[in-house]
Structure 1
Amino acid sequence: MNQRQRAILRQLLANKGEPVLVQDLAVMAGCSEKTIRNDFHAIQGRLSENTSIKLVRKPGVGVFLEGNEIEEGKLFEELNSFPHINKADEGSRAVDIAFQLIMSSEPLTLEQLAAKHFVNKAVIKKDLDGIEKWLREMNLMLAARQKVGIQVTGLEKDRRKALANLPALIHSSTLNLLKEKFSSYEMDIVQTELKDLQQKYSLSFTDETMEHLLIHVLFLIKRTKLKYPITISPHEHERIKEKMEYQWAKHFLRKLEIIFIVHFPEEEIIYLALHFLGSKQRYQSDKVEHPEGPELVPFLIKKMSEATSLSFELDQALIDGLSVHITPVLNRLNYGLAVSNPMLNDIKKMYPYIFDVVMTVIDEANNVFSLQIPEEEGAYLTLHFQTSIERLQKRDGRMKEVVIVCHMGIGMSQLLRTKLERKFHSIRVIDCIGKLELLSFIKKYPVDFVISTIDLKGLKDTPYIVVSPLLDVVEEQQLGHFIEQLSRTESEVGKKSVMSAFLEPDLIFLDCNVEHPYELIEFMAEALVKRGYVGKDYPHSALSRERMSATTIGSGIAIPHGSPKMVHSSVIAAAALKKPLKWGTELVSLVFMIAIRPDEKDKTKDLFRELSELTERPEVVQAAVHEMDQKIFLEHLLKKSR
């Protein structure tokens, strides 16, 4: 059970069999009645484990416990003994505390927060440390006054941005937050009206945009009801009022006024219109408002082609996709709208090479066009270019031929085939067959590999991978890595790895003890300067790149690097940390300082592939990090990179 469910059970035990209304429990827990009713299932499950106590629910009367007094007494003592709280509970508590502080107009004391969450003040103080750092990213401050309490200070627009981004505090789902803070009735109404708006104005918002608009509208309603108005400058008001998005927002909010019995002032219409301006649509023909907009897409494609030696300019689907994508990007930048990307860390881990090239090109674009495109947008652009690479491979005939072995019949096998062909453009599915047909089939039609829904232990000479018929997200990632590994030519497999070629023994630093990522980056970069591998400005370049976007790639690995133009001779330095270091949003234990010359871009690509593979072997990372002998440290890493 989580903290809220324990609190509900504690309250029911304290009432000693007297009914409690669901409404009262919802007020006590600070959530909806639906959430309380859902919690009853978890509570009953806990009671059934080792007690005879029953949770009784009587419509119109309330909820109460029925059972043995001795068992109830023991359970009450157990709940009051502050059992160990798991990470999920800690995250839920942090989000709830942040929500309370942002929503409250009055200071809250440590005692109040500790009492609500049934923990001591030391635990709340620890939560507040993390919350305070996160609030600063949202341009909000956490002010504490002795004998008064703690209070969030800042502009209303920043409060709303923080509320909409609460899931990012613990990398949780936006929908989970909405279900906690709003009733299903409120959510259904707003979703229905958004769909009607699309139909009326022939709009085509993406699923991500619909979720984004849903959370912003729900908080807009809540904050308006609580009389916390948004402030819009006269200049911005005049700019937005002439746009069609203003008409959409006005029509939409006027309908919600009737349903929610609330009046939305003009500023709220402008505020929502701004979010419409920054929204992604599946199809978009509007002109980009930023004066440099028409030149940005060709610039990105040209620079990406030069950096990767790939002909992105030949992919019309990429050009069309970027043209649609770039409009809301520039609108968001133009109007100062925040962007979030829940897939950011996954994209950096799955496609480290393309992401890094994209961020380098974005840095150039920011300077040329006077923009500030953030890493979240860089991750979205990475997906566009990665998908283009798969299309170009398909066009060039470099496709893997596969056969599907499915044990669940033709319907399920065709569903799996459709998913595979939609997700992976670099494979061609020859057929869907049963396990008994496999050996005779591959004798007649040799394939590159087999995708199966059951284990094929007896299969020799032909690679295979096992997935579920529904092909979930994790399996998609695993299949992507599997295909990438098979794509290596025999010459690539046999040649020396980039890591073993460039990782210098005298640039391996073990058991490092540093307080901040920048301290380590500067130390490692200066070591390269002293040995003549890079120019004197390389440390500054590496720090600038890190400020753009944390170079973490998952599994406790970071790969800081500066501009390749400053590299005299290609080299890699490595550092193992004495204790994990907070690096962006991740904890890092192993750091590679990369310096590869620009005329060796193929080696850069190979190195990123090796590093990506290393992230799939956390046991190798941990073994290397805890090693004190340089030679054995190298052996651990090169086992993976060969």
Structure 2
Amino acid sequence: MNKRSREILSQLIKKNEYGQNLSIQNLAEMFDVSIRTIRYDINQVNDFLKENGLEQVRLGNQGIIETTPDIRNAKTSLMNEGFYSFKLSRNERIFFTAVLLIGADDYITLSDIADWLFVSRSTVIQDLEHVKEFFRRHQLYLLSHSNKGVLLEGREIDKRRLIFDMIQSNSSVFREEPIFQHLMECLSKNAQVDLEDRTMIEKIINEAEHAYGRFLTDQAFMQIRIYFEISLYRLLRGHYVESMGEKNSKYPMAQGIMQQIQRFIVKEVPETESAFLAEVLNRVKYIKKTTSNQEIVKMQVITRTFIENISKDIGRNLQGDYIFYENLINHLESTFSAVGKGPGIGSVVDEVIQRYPKVQEAVKRNVYVLEEYIGRKLSEEEIAYIVIHVCAAIERNNNEATRYSVILVCNGGIGTSQLLLARLEKFFHLDVLDIIPAHDIKNVDMSNVDVIISTISLDQENVEYIQVDPLLNDEDCIRVGEKLSKIKPRNQKKSEPVSAGNEEPVRYLEKIRTILEENQQETRLGEIQDVIDEFFQKKEEVLLTDLLRPQAISLNVECGDWREAIRASAKYLLKEKAVTERYVEAMVQNVEKNGPYIVLAPGFALPHEALNAGAVKVGMSLIRLAHPVPFGKEEMDPVEWVCCLSAINKETHLKAMFQLVNLFYDPKFRKEIQESKTPEEVFKVINQYEYETR
């Protein structure tokens, strides 16, 4: 096989391990070659698989490359044969050697370098002057000692910059899987780094993309991941960049990533690392936005309308499912930001769609709501993944009232297992009895276990299980939900409310004890704080009653039309300097341009504008009109209640906005606030309903 064919096989193996697929189109775009070239490479891959007695890959519908679990057995053959069969050029040897020297704390002998490169010692000696010159150009210096070998000296920040320069050069040392894996194995000989820590990096970066609304291109994502994989060998041994430059626009995202690195991998990292990562993030490319991120509030409102329409169409109330709402917003933001074709419809997605034809039809009937917002038709692939989100919400809600006893099998460290556990507990009512490695399954008493959930294949263990991606995607949620819906929990008592004064505190104390036992030398206060916050149900989101205090509510306001109503709803926020006059007029122009989409429930409108239109701080201001006025949305008119929303980012206001819209769909709530005589009475009603729905 050629280099590209080897890398294609590596990608196929990795995707198979996580139950995912690639298409020929995906690979053609990844390697920037024609589909015809990829077909030729696939033939080479199949020849290699055949030679090793393994099942060949097949081309399915829409160019999807179908693989079997058998392909995972090619990993060892590919890795062993891969590096041996590569003949590295001098530049590749220089890069390989440079990474080894950057990763080392002590002298490395030339014989060791020769052994790792599978070349003669004389070849390494001939390369040495080129290596020295390479380092000098980057303010780093290679010291030679006749008995000890060579040692790299220089500032840590220059070493890190060189690492990223090399990664961005697109050298095969980092691009070709066999070479890169061999490089990582050589680094591990000097400093042991948990393989699962390196895998965790990918999850942390992906989380940060969604949290901060900055989506990396595939190439940039790979570059950041590789930077961290190599940098771990420096961070874990206390080598940090020395200085901190100016904080750029990527600093919040960098800081968020480093906070997760500290939580799951490295205990303490100075702020200089966040500042340097911001510099790195500033050097990579991001997916071009097809819609302005400033209009995120509008998308949140449109998404809420879409969910309302879908709920009515399929006869299932999904409007109160905040997890579904939040997940769908994040998905749509990513989808509408992407350029070019999507990932294609994989076999799992296709299977789900075939099982839920009515949901697919309902999505197609109502997707016009999203298409009007984005300004284009959604593709079949985009619609398919929206269907997946709807189906995942249905399955999750089907199992809402029942608790299941689960064994979680994870092949990584505590960081990965806790991340997956948090995701599972967010979506399902589970009692996780234990988290174990695969080799320990035979020692587990299964008498009280309802289901096994695993991040790796357990086919060899002869047990029934559900395999999920460590990131727990929506396809995984559907599989888990369907499995749980067919199971009768063995311990029915688990479905009963747990006494707040008995078993429940014990469960949280057990979590704290586990953290303390696993960190005997240094208490990880952050993790303990997370458990305490979980017990007391501490929420990071701003609650509705935090924003709509009595002073932010006005009753019996006189307005002649919807324009006056919008301006009147903003008076309190203007007085509090939460918005500017420009913001108020922008809200009016928004409705003039886009229509009355801000009318979200019977008799209720939520005027707002883009994040950059003059909002200064997050806030809400609710008014009741003395005489309701039409806004132009016949099925919801006339509007009596108008709530002005001031949003400064995409997250802070989201839960409060979601709760308020849901309240106005409740006729009982509308009746009670209608009968309220003072703002204090309205606040009391809102507070009561918010408390009951938490």
Q: What's the TM-score once normalised by structure 1's chain length?
A: 0.29
Q: What's the TM-score once normalised by structure 2's chain length?
A: 0.27
Higher relative contact order (CA 8 A, sep 6+): 2
